[in-house]
Amino acid sequence: MSLSDFWTWFPLSLSVLAVLLIERLLARRGSINLPPGPFPLPIIGNVLDAPRKDFGSECSALVKKYGVS
């Protein structure tokens, strides 16, 4: 195996490994029986669902209602 072959196969193998890892994580996530909730967006998740005004009092109300774990 020459050095040029290494630089050809190395990015390809990393790409395949990344795709397999992401597929494995998504498959595992789907097997957990969770209650229905908001669908997260790619990369930013559910950050748009967070309260925009009076964030501190909203969080305090949630702590009073559900407690701290």
Domain boundaries, the chain: 1-34
Q: Tell me the C-alpha distance between 30 and 55, whole Å.
A: 31
Predicted confidence at residue 3, as pLDDT, reads 62
More confident residue, 1 or 37: 37
**Beta strand segments in 1-69, E:** none
pLDDT tens digits for range 26-50: 776 656 676 777 778 888 888 888 8
The share of the chain scoring above pLDDT 70, in percent, equals 84
For the CA atoms of 52, 57, 61, 67, the dihedral, rounded to the nearest 10 degrees, stands at 100
pTM for this model (two decimals):
0.37
Tokens, residue 37: 């909730």
Residue type at position 22: I
pLDDT of 64 above 60: yes
Residue at token pair 């501190």: 56
